[in-house]
Structure 1
Amino acid sequence: MDESALVSVIIPCYKHEKYIERCLDSVASQTYKNIEVVIIDDCSPDGSAKEIERLIQRKNCQSRFPYPTQFHCFANNQGAHAAINYGISKAKGDIIAILNSDDMYHPERLKLIVNEMQQGGHDFVFSRVQYVDGSDNIVTDSHPTAGVYSAFQKNIKSHKFPSVGFALLSANVAISTGNFAFTRSLFNRVGEFGTHPYCHDWDFILRSLVHTEPFYLEQDLYYYRFHGKNTFESLGPTISQQELASLLVNFFSQVHYDWTPNPIAPSPLNWPGFFELFMDALPHLKPFKNFY
């Protein structure tokens, strides 16, 4: 594997003073060496900014990465999507990886992802997720919400979905922006993360789906943390129907009339007959019948 490719890890932070050290340590522990770290604090009201400043001054952090760790603080809270976009604008790497500031990477994550990109020609890779509590204990099989999202990923390769793209229409099976890794060239084609407060991750991967088929790496390489204050815990069982409608309208408007750069993106042209049956089978897609 060629390790000359620089991977920029974008870490948006908001009120994660307690977890940011474990987050950064998981990046420093990567077996892939050519990494740049860009941290953006979204005007956290706790001690996150001061803790980040302390952590990036440590010798192991300064000596580990070929480029100095960048740290940017927003004067006003702007949302995760804005923090991610700003971080990408400051990054130097041709590969962009995101890591939420309360989550962690498996040590082999970036090496395996870069290998898949290079060997398989993939522009977007996400992995299987394990779920942890505030003390790093695995709760994938015991936490009720974790069980729901774990089931989403287990269904990706089921008979219901002939491609990862169709699985992504059923739900955000990548789970979180922190599980995203994509090439800068893809980002330049897709554009910035949108302003959706909760579904900016799902919106971005659906927009990416028009251009490339995301690759699902079936290894536990991302640790998503449940601690009572993160998005999945606070959202409850529903998401904004307005947000859902907006991201689906945007996707279907791109695939309805024209051939897509991704030749297997879910569309009536790429999947005649099956696409219509699939749309009829999922209740949350039925309101969008006018798009096909």
Structure 2
Amino acid sequence: MGKEVSIIVPMYNVEKYIERCLSSLNNQTVESYEVICIDDCSPDGSAEIASRFSNKYPNKFRLYRNVTNFGLGKTRERGISLSEAPYIMFIDSDDYVADNYIETYLAEAKESNAEVVIGGYSRDVDGKITPHYPTNSDWSLISYTIACAKLYKKSFLEDKGIHFSSTRCGEDIFFSSKIFLAEPSYSVLEKYAGYYYYFNRNSITSSAKKDRQLERYIAGIYDELFDDGAFDNAEDRKLHMLEYCYYANMVNALVVYGKGCGKKRMQEKVTFVFNHAATLFKNSLANPLLRSPFIKGESMKRSMGVYLALMLHRHNLDQPFYNLVSKL
């Protein structure tokens, strides 16, 4: 029987976690899949561990090595090009999955014939597991930006030219936006969270908190979307959702990743965000999503955060709030 799913696992500095990840993939309840491990010039022993799996289970695991460090997004793209199955899944190498993970997604894909199958994930923070579930709406394509915990038809990705950003932080925002704009048929596993997202304090996203530059990465992602033609000829509904997600990501960057950065630095960050927003979105006043704290299908926490942040900004009351955040 041919392979039905290709699992793409980029690896970089995950020597502590990669065996758990690959073991969880080896324990799947179906057999019709392949695991494509790609060593992105990792300086540790990640490739050696993956090599043990590919040597012991050559019909299931394949190991490749990048000649230079590509970054997560471009390594995933290489994995797609190497894949031999009609369906694609991504798993980050410090995460792991339930034994029925592939079986659950593949069964839903076959039953629904969807181009994208979307599931939940369970957050693992020092052994404390908290499940998170998507909603059965377009928000699960664009706002629920995780590229993992989803299954994709390879033909859809190729036919629509879906690719990752060259920015090396927040690649999933770009990827999810491209998929959303391509209008795929999709199915949502509303009560399944068999993907275990391990909170790795040394990951790229976590380290962004240390240099406090996440808003710059996000700006680069949306600039690339704009240059890539994502905004061209998009209907108002899509543009409104893109703009809302831009602000949701920027508010998160300011409030979560800006904590303790100091008053002067925070003023610079806030000025940068709203100046950059003005270059991309010309008429935010016409966007109803920015004026409602309750958006059907979207996280209330996110929608409330965007609503309050923009309301304060419109009334020139946001600086005291951000000054407070900068001191936390």
| TM-score > 0.5 by shorter chain | yes
Distance of aligned partners of 1:174 and 1:112 in 2 relative to their CA distance in 1, 3 Å threshold: farther
Q: Specify the alignment match of 1:101 in structure 2.
A: 93
Deviations 1:245-285 (A, max 9, x none): 3366454335238xxxxxxx8468xxxxxx94225546599
Distance of aligned partners of 1:167 and 1:49 in 2 relative to their CA distance in 1, 3 Å threshold: closer
Provide the C-alpha distance between the structure 2 equivalents of 1:233 and 1:139, rounded to a whole number of angstroms.
18
Distance of aligned partners of 1:174 and 1:107 in 2 relative to their CA distance in 1, 3 Å threshold: farther
Contact 2:174 2:222 in 1 (8 A): no
Task: Name structure 2 gaps, 5 residues minimum.
Answer: 241-285, 293-302, 311-328
CA drift of 1:126 comes to: 2.4
The answer to whether residue 189 in structure 2 is matched with residue 217 in structure 1 is yes
Q: Specify the alignment match of 1:166 in structure 2.
A: 139
Q: Which has the higher helix share?
A: 2
Task: Name structure 1 gaps, 5 residues minimum.
Answer: 142-149, 158-162, 258-264, 269-274, 287-292
Q: What secondary structure, in the 3-state scheme, does the structure 2 residue paired with 1:164 have?
A: coil
Provide the C-alpha distance between the structure 2 equivalents of 1:109 and 1:68, rounded to a whole number of angstroms.
16
Q: What secondary structure, in the 3-state scheme, does the structure 1 residue paired with 2:84 have?
A: coil
Provide the C-alpha distance between the structure 2 equivalents of 1:222 and 1:85, rounded to a whole number of angstroms.
21
Provide the C-alpha distance between the structure 1 equivalents of 2:78 and 2:51, rounded to a whole number of angstroms.
19
Provide the C-alpha distance between the structure 2 equivalents of 1:217 and 1:242, rounded to a whole number of angstroms.
31
CA drift of 1:110 comes to: 1.2
CA drift of 1:130 comes to: 0.6
Provide the C-alpha distance between the structure 2 equivalents of 1:104 and 1:68, rounded to a whole number of angstroms.
17
The answer to whether residue 174 in structure 2 is matched with residue 203 in structure 1 is yes
Q: Specify the alignment match of 2:110 in structure 1.
A: 118
Tell me how large the CA RMSD over aligned residues is. Answer: 2.9
Provide the C-alpha distance between the structure 2 equivalents of 1:246 and 1:110, rounded to a whole number of angstroms.
35
Q: Specify the alignment match of 2:12 in structure 1.
A: 14
Q: Specify the alignment match of 1:233 in structure 2.
A: 206
Distance of aligned partners of 1:55 and 1:4 in 2 relative to their CA distance in 1, 3 Å threshold: closer
CA drift of 1:164 comes to: 2.6
Provide the C-alpha distance between the structure 2 equivalents of 1:215 and 1:235, rounded to a whole number of angstroms.
32
Deviations 1:225-250 (A, max 9, x none): 11211133222384424135336645
Structure 1 residue runs of 4 or more that deviate by more than 6 Å after TM superposition: none
Equivalent residues in 2 for 1:1-292 (5 A)? Answer: 6-58=4-56, 61-62=57-58, 67=59, 69-133=61-125, 137-140=127-130, 150=132, 153=133, 156-157=134-135, 164-166=137-139, 168-169=141-142, 171=143, 173-175=144-146, 177-191=147-161, 192-209=163-180, 210-218=182-190, 219-236=192-209, 238-239=214-215, 240-246=217-223, 249=226, 250-256=229-235, 266=238, 276-281=287-292, 283=306
TM-score by length of 1: 0.73
Provide the C-alpha distance between the structure 2 equivalents of 1:115 and 1:55, rounded to a whole number of angstroms.
26
Distance of aligned partners of 1:212 and 1:77 in 2 relative to their CA distance in 1, 3 Å threshold: same
Provide the C-alpha distance between the structure 2 equivalents of 1:235 and 1:7, rounded to a whole number of angstroms.
32
Contact 2:40 2:65 in 1 (8 A): yes
Provide the C-alpha distance between the structure 2 equivalents of 1:53 and 1:4, rounded to a whole number of angstroms.
23
Structure with higher Rg: it is 2
TM-score by length of 2: 0.65
Identity %: 23
Provide the C-alpha distance between the structure 2 equivalents of 1:279 and 1:253, rounded to a whole number of angstroms.
21
CA drift of 1:4 comes to: 6.2
Which residue type is aligned with residue 39 of structure 1?
Answer: C
Q: What secondary structure, in the 3-state scheme, does the structure 2 residue paired with 1:193 have?
A: coil
Which residue type is aligned with residue 243 of structure 1?
Answer: G
Which residue type is aligned with residue 173 of structure 2?
Answer: W
Contact 2:33 2:60 in 1 (8 A): no
Provide the C-alpha distance between the structure 1 equivalents of 2:177 and 2:224, rounded to a whole number of angstroms.
8
